[in-house]
Amino acid sequence: MTTGTGKAGPAGPLVRLRQGVPLVEVERSGVVESVHSGHVVMLGRNGEVLLSLGDPTQLIFPRSSNKPLQAVAMVRAGLAVEPAWTALAAASHSGEPMHVARVRAMLASADLTSDALGCPADWPMGEAARIAVLAGGGRPERVTMNCSGKHAAMLLTCRVNGWPERDYLDPDHPLQRWTRSVLGELAGEPVGRTGVDGCGAPLFALSLIGLARAFAGIGTSDSGPAWTVAEAMRSHPELIAGSGRSATAFMRSTPGLIAKDGAEGVYAAALRDGSALAIKIDDGGGRAADEVAAAGLRALGAMIPADLSGAPVLGGGRPVGTVRLCPCVEAVLGRVQV
């Protein structure tokens, strides 16, 4: 991971991601043409480390895998909305009509329009939604950007607390100072660096172990703000990601599971019993993160269907290979005892 411009500055010296171990291989016509390396940590029901690959203690930007933690911070700060809106606060949505309509409703509840959102205008993340916008002569909008639910929730949280809304993305804003504090508490470690996420919001760096620990705490909560966020995610998995995306499919397959992908090959998930995992792929490959997450969750006891892993590699429109775990990683996961 790199931060800043490569020079020492207000954010501190450059931080480099230490290379992990080979995790996923891509085979085409009998030739392994690509290998994704990375880092994995899996926690047991009591917080014990069941598996550690690479270096899960180093600092990373969890990207959108931080969103459930940020949502907990907002609920603790007084955000009290319907579960679907809470789910969108923790979401990287695909920009489908069901997502966009609800984000607009969140804004309208505070007499706000999409112009109040601090995220940039973007096309929908989901391919079908993007094609539909293009076919209809649409354009990139802030409300269709995948982080718009989080931003709308941030504005509502500011409104509840009487905090300034115009500069809500400033790292020194009361909302962001509060969020940073809550994330450190949930992860059991201080936030190691503050950067800027793709949506413009402050981005708080944690270790993979800290991220997994935070998800485990949210996943096992039985009351309070963490429970509110977890139950919203469980009851509305289609809002957390969208059609055809892994986080939605994983949560639908396993009752009690919470899962959240992040940009640059990050993934975090937890079962209701407290077991959890966190993943970072060195080259940022989301296909590799999905593959490791599916296999890791199965090792923890989740009921992830076989068709949610082993993505086909196409040649001429037909399968000629597959994306799969490296054999040594598959063997290690087979020995995990929950």
**CA angle in degrees (0–180, nearest 5) for 90-38-43:** 60
The model carries a pTM of 0.94
Q: Where residue 11 falls among pLDDT bands split at 50, 70, 90?
A: low
Contacts of residue 317, defined as CB under 8 A and 6 or more positions apart, other chains included, come to none
Give the pLDDT mean for 283-307: 96
Q: Where residue 2 falls among pLDDT bands split at 50, 70, 90?
A: very low
Average pLDDT of the chain is 95
pLDDT over 60 at 249, yes or no: yes
Q: Where residue 1 falls among pLDDT bands split at 50, 70, 90?
A: very low
C-alpha 27: how far from its chain's center? 27
Q: Which CATH number fits domain 21-334: 3.30.70, 2.60.40, 3.90.930, 3.40.710?
A: 3.40.710
Q: Where residue 183 falls among pLDDT bands split at 50, 70, 90?
A: very high
Give the pLDDT mean for 239-262: 97
Q: CA-CA distance, 193 to 19, in Å (whole number)?
A: 20
**pLDDT for 337:** 86
In whole angstroms, how far apart are CA 134 and each of 137, 138, 197? 5, 5, 26
Nearest to 263 by CA among 125, 96, 101: 125
User: What's 25's DSSP letter?
Assistant: E
- Whether the CB-CB separation of 117 and 110 falls below 8 Å is answered with no
**pLDDT for 7:** 38
Q: What's the length of the chain?
A: 338
Q: Where residue 29 falls among pLDDT bands split at 50, 70, 90?
A: very high
85-108 residues labelled b (16+ CB within 10 A) or e (exposed): bbbbbbbbbbbbebbbebbbebbe
Q: Tens digits of per-residue pLDDT, 111-135?
A: 999 999 999 999 999 999 999 999 9
Q: Where residue 6 falls among pLDDT bands split at 50, 70, 90?
A: very low
The tally of CA atoms less than 13 A away on the side-chain side of residue 62 is: 33
How do the domains of the chain map onto residue ranges?
A: 21-334
**pLDDT for 163:** 98
**pLDDT for 338:** 85
pLDDT over 50 at 3, yes or no: no
pLDDT over 50 at 45, yes or no: yes
Of the two residues 5 and 249, the one the predictor is more confident about is 249
- Whether the CB-CB separation of 338 and 275 falls below 8 Å is answered with yes
Q: Tens digits of per-residue pLDDT, 188-200?
A: 999 999 999 999 9
Give the pLDDT mean for 221-233: 98
Give the pLDDT mean for 20-30: 98
**pLDDT for 9:** 40
**pLDDT for 8:** 37
